[in-house]
A and B are shown apart, each in its own frame.
Chain A
Amino acid sequence: MLKCEGLTLAVPGRVLAHDVDFEVKRGDTWAVLGANGSGKTTLVHALAGLTPPMRAEISVDGAPLDARRVSARAALVGILLQQEDTAFWGDVLDYVLLGRFPRARAVFGWSREDEDAARAALVAVGLAGLERRSYRTLSGGERQRARIAQLLAQDPQLFLLDEPLQHLDLRHQVAVLRLFGSLARERGKAVIMVLHDTLWLAQACSHALLLHENGVVEAGTATAMLTRDRLERLYGCQLREIAVDGISFFAPV
């Protein structure tokens, strides 16, 4: 699905990642982990083609990322941004419909198909019934779910999620992780998400990408990557590993 070779990321004055190779297959769910400012957002933006990396060969479905037209790319790769400074005046359904932008065919407004996809996405995130509410009146958690619904309506093959769980209560955190997990497993999508939660990492993802402070990046399966000493090095704090039914949970000491 996504192949990334020789990825080097830098911000002025600092190299965030040096010469990283990894491959994301359909059905995979990847967690991107790292301390604050370690380059997680820069990485997913580079994978979405939003900010060019210093050096990289990124290909999606066999073709280089920048060889595709922007609208074709948007049908393939979708990103949930960590921050979105929205000046949107319309209602929730109109907001979610904007996810259909790369697929919109209607000359004026949206087609039946677009509207069905948007309504289905609202149901999937538990916002059914709020279609005609003004987007600006939503709470932080509801907004986050509306943004996820917009991404679902976009229906890309590769989901890039920058902190998908922010503002969500526990129930909706679980629901969102399950939702993307089942999209990967059952519908062959690929998911890459920036997470901060170490507690249930092992449940939520199949692979992990660790961005260490010194520009070293480790990538691999969740079982290989999610070990106590790796995570302790990554975050610079002590962790306790709790194993329940063969699944590891990591809690701070």
Chain B
Amino acid sequence: MSRPLALGTALVVAAVASVFLALVAGPFPISARQVLDSVLFPIPGLVHDIIWQLRAPRALAAFACGGLLALAGALLQALLRNALADPYVLGVSSGAALGALLALVAGAGVALMSMAALAGAACAIAIVFGLSFRSGEWDIYRLLLTGVVLAAGFSALVSLTLVTASHMQVKGMLFWLMGDLSYADSPLAAWIVLLFGTALATSGARGLDLLALGETKARSLGLPVKALQVGIFAVAAAATVAAVMLAGSVGFVGLMVPHAVRLMGVAAYRWLLPLSVLLGGVFLTVADTVARTLVAPQQLPVGVLTAIIGVPLMLWLLGRRRLTT
């Protein structure tokens, strides 16, 4: 079996296992047998409700969120031709955070806060895209700088909001800043974005590989570079927004998961994209399961744990394999 195929099979198994683990683990004891029974022969009751109304949506949300972030990270690394690009480099998450925080300060409810976050993210995307696409000239360097500058501006405004907010509000604000899946209960929209985004991006994977050779070479080989870049940007932005709306800004996944796949010896985007989605999903599902069971019944924000769990794994991968071979 070829390496990508073997890795893919392993990750599919891991994906099923991670979701199963997330259904079993928790403060209320539910055995693996009970989970299996509940999947195969659903009988209404407390166990059934905990599995299907609490743990399953949460696990699916975690998986979707991890997959979306890994997808967005891989796409932005290809678009910006920069290994350090992550889903937040274009200011989408800080825009969303600012929108949500302003709504919170204004005393809005949860629904209105989500709307404000969406508006903030859309605003960031529009500014970044508008400024870097002016007069039809699309400049990737300008896109990157505009995004970074904008993210810095939003972050400053976020800090300002935090400083001036009351103690009660600050706790709610941290959700947007560190990433937390506690409030993620309807992952359907995120899954739709994830499936469509992954399929769409993978269908253009050959172009993504070609883009690594530079725009001039890619154009000389017949790639419609601008159209592809706009497409990548759109999918990456949609994926980031969907992830942020679900869990705030969960760090580390989007930056590191694509590199982890590359370190495992897969570089072609037709494999890298779906494998990153799977690995990101597995990683965040496991991380979130740990986050809500480690000091149960208290729940930790998953964004705190992604780096704590991910850094040793990543360092191990980096040490195991020489980067260049």
Contacts and interface: CB of A to CB of B under 8 A. Distances in A.
Chains A and B come from one and the same complex: yes
Interface stretch (A7-15, A79-87, A121-129, A204-212): A79-87
Given A84-B217, A98-B209, A98-B213, A90 B268 contact: yes
Given A73-B222, A99-B221, A136-B324, A86 B270 contact: no
B25 interface: no
A79 to B, nearest CB: 5
Interface in B156-206: 202-203, 206
Given A84-B214, A134-B324, A137-B324, A102 B267 contact: no
A69 B267 CA distance: 29
Nearest to B205: A108
Interface in B245-273: 262, 267-268, 270
A88 B213 CA distance: 7
A107 B204 CA distance: 10
B219 interface: yes
Contact of B325 (A71, A77, A134): A134
Given A48-B220, A86-B213, A101-B210, 14 more contacts: A70-B219, A70-B224, A81-B220, A84-B213, A87-B81, A88-B212, A88-B213, A90-B268, A94-B267, A101-B207, A101-B223, A108-B270, A134-B325, A137-B325
Question: Looking at chain B, what size class is its interface with the partner chain?
Answer: 20 to 34
Nearest to B222: A74
Interface string A54-90: 0000000000000001111111011101001111111
A72 B216 CA distance: 17
Contacts of B222: 69-75, 101-102
Interface in A143-195: 154
Contact of B212 (A73, A89, A99): A89
A81 B325 CA distance: 26
Nearest to B220: A79
A217 interface: no
Nearest to A70: B222
A241 interface: no
A-B pairs, top 9 by smallest CB distance, nearest first, are: A74-B222, A71-B222, A90-B267, A89-B267, A102-B222, A88-B212, A101-B221, A70-B222, A87-B81
Contacts of B220: 48, 50, 74, 77-79, 81
Contacts of B267: 88-91, 94
Interface of B: 81-83, 202-203, 206-207, 209-210, 212-214, 216-217, 219-224, 262, 267-268, 270, 324-325
A77 to B, nearest CB: 8
A109 interface: yes
Contacts of A79: 220
Contacts of A102: 221-222
29 contacts: A48-B220, A50-B219, A50-B220, A69-B222, A70-B219, A71-B222, A72-B222, A74-B221, A78-B220, A79-B220, A81-B214, A81-B220, A84-B213, A85-B214, A86-B212, A87-B81, A88-B212, A88-B267, A89-B262, A90-B209, A94-B209, A98-B209, A98-B213, A98-B221, A104-B206, A107-B203, A108-B202, A109-B268, A154-B221
Contact of B270 (A69, A77, A109, A134): A109
Nearest to A88: B212
A86 B221 contact: no
Nearest to A45: B216
Contacts of B219: 50, 70
A168 B206 CA distance: 29
Nearest to B77: A87
Contacts of B210: 98, 101
A191 B16 CA distance: 56
A89 B324 CA distance: 9
Contacts of A91: 267
B66 to A, nearest CB: 22
Of the listed residues A99, A101, A104, A136, the one surrounded by the most CB atoms of chain B closer than 10 A to its CB is: A101
B217 A81 contact: yes
B136 to A, nearest CB: 14
Nearest to A72: B222
Given A71-B222, A104-B206, A134-B325, A50 B216 contact: yes
A66 to B, nearest CB: 13
A99 B210 CA distance: 9
A14 to B, nearest CB: 21
A61 to B, nearest CB: 16
A139 B10 CA distance: 35
A78 B217 CA distance: 10
Contacts of A71: 222
Contacts of A48: 220
A90 B203 CA distance: 18
B241 to A, nearest CB: 26
Of the listed residues B268, B324, B325, the one surrounded by the most CB atoms of chain A closer than 10 A to its CB is: B268
